Amino acid sequence: MAGGDALEVRRDAVAAACDALSGLRHELWRAGSGELAAVMAEVDRLGMLVDAARVGVVDEAIRRGEPGSGALAMTPVDWVRRHAPSTRAGGAGEVVAVAEAFGRPGNEAVRAAVSAGALPVRSAAVVVAEADRLRPLLAEGAEAAVLDGLVRMAVEHGPRGCRSVRPRLLATYGVEGQLQAEQDRGKRFVALSRPRVDGLGLAEYRLTLDVEGRAVLEAALGAAVRAAADRGRARPEVGGAAAG
């Protein structure tokens, strides 16, 4: 797809893809189980690239100043909602946030991952937000490594994984003492609420933990789950021995 007709050719291909997808549901009965899984992967890949293309269109529109021009001047989010009706239920802000990040220096890793269809837009928005929060806390020259780390975690583990890597990144790339300062601040919010008891006597608590407390709790819960599983596996053997 080269030359002056490249955009028109691509738009024709997009229209053809829309036609193919609109009737796909009625043909899925023809697929075997293995083929059905392959179709799912293909459709998912297409969806990722559609999201990336949506961000690319918004990036170009922002560069041209289109949302704020003309008689119907709008914010970028309003512009997206007007021309991409599916975002009216949510997601327009994330699309705009990622598109705006494309235009800022230092975000090349985000642009590359989104454009390649490797990083979903929702995850990319979290990467951008986390990177913005971390930048003032980093040692000089560490921004590129931190952004790469955030992108890798978001690709592999989604938004939650991206947020969870913050302490490790601060420990490795943060200004000296920054991680300890954050942990000290976090301890002020550690709390266990009074129980809320219902009519059956069931008690509900709200627990807030810092990083250290969460690690201790998760380790204890993990050990308890493993012990319960071991007891469950041992029980049939004991019964069998008794029966014999």
Could you report the per-residue pLDDT of 110-133, keeping only the tens digit for each?
999 999 889 999 999 999 999 988
144 shares a domain with 75 = no
Is the pTM higher than 0.85? The answer reads no
Asked if residue 2 is part of any domain, the answer here is no
The whole-angstrom separation of Cα 92 and Cα 87 is 5
Return the DSSP state at 65: T
159 shares a domain with 216 = no
128 shares a domain with 153 = yes
Contact in structure between 99 and 107 (CB atoms under 8 Å): no
Range of the domain at 117: 105-188
181 shares a domain with 154 = yes
170 shares a domain with 140 = yes
Q: Which residue has the higher pLDDT, 216 or 161?
A: 161
Asked if residue 1 is part of any domain, the answer here is no
106 φ, ψ (degrees, to nearest 5):
95, -10
Picking from 188, 214, 233, the residue at the C-terminal end of a domain is 188
Asked if residue 3 is part of any domain, the answer here is no
Contacts (Cβ under 8 Å, ≥6 apart) of 206: 191, 192, 193
Secondary structure (DSSP) of 127-193: HHHHHHHHGGGBPTT-HHHHHHHHHHHHHHHHHHHHHHTHHHHHHHHBPTTHHHHHHHHHHTT-EEP
Asked if residue 205 is part of any domain, the answer here is yes
Asked if residue 63 is part of any domain, the answer here is yes
Picking from 85, 103, 121, the residue at the C-terminal end of a domain is 103
Please state the rounded mean pLDDT for residues 148-172: 89
Residue 244 has pLDDT above 50, yes or no: no
**Helix axes 33-64 and 76-83, enclosed angle (nearest 10):** 130
Residues in the chain: 244
196 shares a domain with 139 = no
Q: What is the number of domains present in the chain?
A: 3
